[in-house]
């Protein structure tokens, strides 16, 4: 289902008619000098694929992540700069890719996703970043391709009840796993946990060792359930993509593992995660072309690459 098909739903129009302040809000968001206010992107220059990155001190970025990753793209150009977000677009093995950097967490991701999803023609959104290990077999330097996300953060609950599954699009999962395999990465495919708190909320003591009983149970609960890793943005990317008719997914490197006691390693595996994401987008681009050739709505394994 596409964004336009979502907008045509009769139930959506019905709720708009009930909203007392419908005529008081800008239906397409705030604008600055004719551009989406938060990112100030040129929507016409956004690629088909959008990589969502974070200015993360726990990753060994040598510069702003959007600027750094743009160096791996052909013909990269700056397409948006605001005081919160930086966006570049270029080409990688034929795939038109935009990479955007911003701050951490689902609430900040929501802001950039709105601008891109409302104004651009991008169809695929991918969280690319660092994470902490939760699964017993997940080690620092490994890569996790998310098949789905546990929505333990708060932002997405403003959009839909927490029972709604944050499932990565199967085409994205297949392409990223294929990419990781071709590149020889140490990778896992499975469930990611998204949270708001990086400390007490995931069992890491707060100031002065502060913890509550429910804090110390979190990691054990999700380890027993087979969750592989945890971050702060994957839920936003995957959930909003699904709600608005886009493809969403997540590829994260792992820097430590609180469950196994594997020590933190600054930036471990993140170069590999970026490579997997870029090559995965190129594979998705080939999948899309195969699907278009057959006239099918979905890519199927029998179509090949």
97-144 confidence digits (pLDDT tens) = 999 999 999 999 999 999 999 999 999 999 999 999 999 999 999 999
Task: Note the pLDDT of residue 106.
Answer: 97
Confidence of residue 4 (pLDDT cuts 50, 70, 90): confident
102 strand-pairing partners: 54
Poorest-pLDDT segment among 3-12, 166-175, 196-205, 207-216: 3-12
Q: What is the pLDDT of residue 3?
A: 79
Q: Is the pLDDT of residue 1 over 70?
A: no
What domains are there in the chain, each with its CATH number? 25-303 (3.40.50.1580)
pLDDT at 243: 96
Secondary structure of residue 194 in the 3-state scheme: strand
Mean pLDDT of 226-234: 98
CA atoms of 110 and 153, how far apart (whole Å): 12
Q: What does the buried/exposed string (b/e) look like for 128-145 if buried means 16 or more CB atoms within 10 Å of the residue's CB?
A: bbbbbbbbeebbbbbbbb
Task: Supply angle C-alpha 254, 256, 257, rounded to 5.
Answer: 105
Mean predicted confidence (pLDDT) in 262-277: 96
Predicted local confidence at residue 184, as pLDDT? 98
Q: Is the pLDDT of residue 224 over 90?
A: yes
**CB neighbourhood size of 168 (10 A):** 29
Do 189 and 170 touch, CB atoms closer than 8 A?
no
pLDDT at 189 over 90: yes
Pairs from 20-29 (Cβ < 8 Å, separation ≥ 24)? 28/118, 28/119, 29/114, 29/115, 29/118
Q: What dihedral do alpha carbons 253, 257, 262, 267 form, nearest 10°?
A: 30
Mean pLDDT confidence for 148-156: 98
Question: What is the chain's Cα-based Rg?
Answer: 19
Question: If you average pLDDT over residues 34-41, what whole number do you get?
Answer: 97
295 neighbors 284 (Cβ within 8 angstroms): no
Q: How far apart are CA 255 and CA 131, in angstroms?
A: 6
- Confidence class for position 48, pLDDT limits 50, 70, 90: very high
User: Phi and psi at residue 155, in whole multiples of 5°?
Assistant: -60, -45
Q: Look at residue 268 and give its three-state secondary structure.
A: coil
Question: CA 144: distance to chain centroid?
Answer: 12
What percent of the chain stands above pLDDT 70?
Answer: 100
Q: What is the pLDDT of residues 193-203, one digit of tens each?
A: 999 999 999 99
- pLDDT, one tens digit per residue, over 159-174 is 999 999 999 999 999 9
Give the closest residue to 172 by CA, choosing from 49, 3, 296, 6.
49
Which of 9-13, 22-26, 187-191 has the largest mean confidence? Answer: 187-191
* pLDDT value, residue 2: 74
209: closest CA among 200, 220, 198, 218?
200
State the chain's mean pLDDT as an integer: 96
Of 34, 121, 39, nearest to 86 by C-alpha is 39
């Amino acid at each position: 289902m596409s964004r336009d098909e979502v907008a045509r739903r009769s139930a959506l129009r019905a709720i708009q008619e009930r909203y007392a302040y419908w005529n008081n809000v800008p239906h397409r968001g705030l604008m600055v000098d004719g551009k989406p206010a938060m990112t100030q992107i040129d929507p016409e220059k956004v690629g088909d694929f959008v990589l969502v990155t974070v200015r993360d001190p726990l990753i060994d970025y040598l510069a702003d992540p959007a600027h750094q990753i743009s160096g791996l793209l052909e013909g990269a150009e700056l397409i948006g700069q605001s005081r919160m977000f930086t966006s570049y677009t270029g080409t990688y093995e034929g795939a038109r890719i935009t990479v955007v950097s911003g701050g951490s967490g689902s609430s900040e991701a929501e802001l950039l996703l709105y601008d891109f999803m409302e104004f651009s023609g991008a169809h695929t959104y991918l969280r690319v970043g660092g994470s902490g290990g939760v699964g017993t077999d997940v080690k620092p330097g490994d890569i996790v391709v998310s098949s789905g996300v546990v929505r333990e953060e708060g932002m997405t609950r403003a959009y839909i009840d927490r029972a709604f599954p944050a499932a990565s699009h199967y085409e994205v999962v297949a392409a990223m796993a294929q990419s990781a395999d071709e590149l020889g990465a140490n990778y896992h495919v499975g469930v990611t946990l998204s949270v708001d708190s990086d400390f007490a909320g995931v069992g890491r003591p707060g100031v002065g060792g502060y913890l509550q009983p429910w804090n110390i149970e979190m990691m054990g609960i999700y380890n027993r359930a087979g969750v592989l890793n945890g971050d702060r943005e994957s839920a936003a990317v995957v959930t909003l993509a699904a709600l608005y008719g886009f493809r969403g997914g997540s590829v994260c490197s792992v820097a430590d593992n609180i469950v196994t006691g594997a020590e933190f390693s600054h930036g471990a595996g993140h170069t590999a995660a970026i490579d997997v994401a870029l090559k995965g987008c190129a594979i998705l681009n080939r999948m899309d072309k195969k699907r278009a050739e057959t006239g099918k709505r979905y890519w199927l394994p029998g179509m090949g690459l």
